[in-house]
Amino acid sequence: MVRALVINCTLKPSPRRPHPGACSVTPYKRSEKQMSDRQVLPHADGWQVLEPGATRASEVFATQEEAIERAREIVHNSGGGELVIHGTDGKVRDKRTITPGTDPYPPTG
């Protein structure tokens, strides 16, 4: 999934870019790790679960607790990642690392 373009420009000539100011444009692909991360943010109708970089909510819930639980499920089922929880003021309140649902090397004990 391509979300953005990375533009690299140089001011000095090089063998790969013989002209000063030459630019290359390459698609920026998010890693699988980034794709499983989620944020819980305030929403006009309650609390939203949002994928970083997305403009629309995955889901909206009446309570923050419901949104946190659903975001945790999504991250867990997507292979683990980070869950960032924002407060009513929009500031980061908590960060949680969620383990993958199918961990090939689960911790012992």
pLDDT in tens, 15-73: 655 555 444 445 544 444 456 899 999 999 999 999 988 889 999 999 999 999 999 99
Query: What is the average per-residue pLDDT within 73-90?
Result: 92
Q: Are 46 and 40 in contact (CB under 8 A)?
A: no
Strands (E), the chain: 2-9, 23-29, 38-43, 46-50, 59-61, 81-86, 92-98
Q: Is a pLDDT exceeding 60 seen at residue 6?
A: no
Q: What is the pLDDT of residue 30?
A: 47
Whether the model pTM is above 0.75? no
Q: What is the pLDDT of residue 36?
A: 80
Any residues with CB less than 8 A from the CB of 88 and at least 6 apart, and which? 42
**61 vs 105, residue with greater confidence:** 61
Query: What is the average per-residue pLDDT within 86-92?
Result: 93
Query: What is the average per-residue pLDDT within 86-103?
Result: 86
Rounded to whole angstroms, how far apart are CA atoms 72 and 37?
A: 9
Q: Are 42 and 60 in contact (CB under 8 A)?
A: no
Q: Give the chain's end-to-end CA distance (angstroms, integer).
A: 38
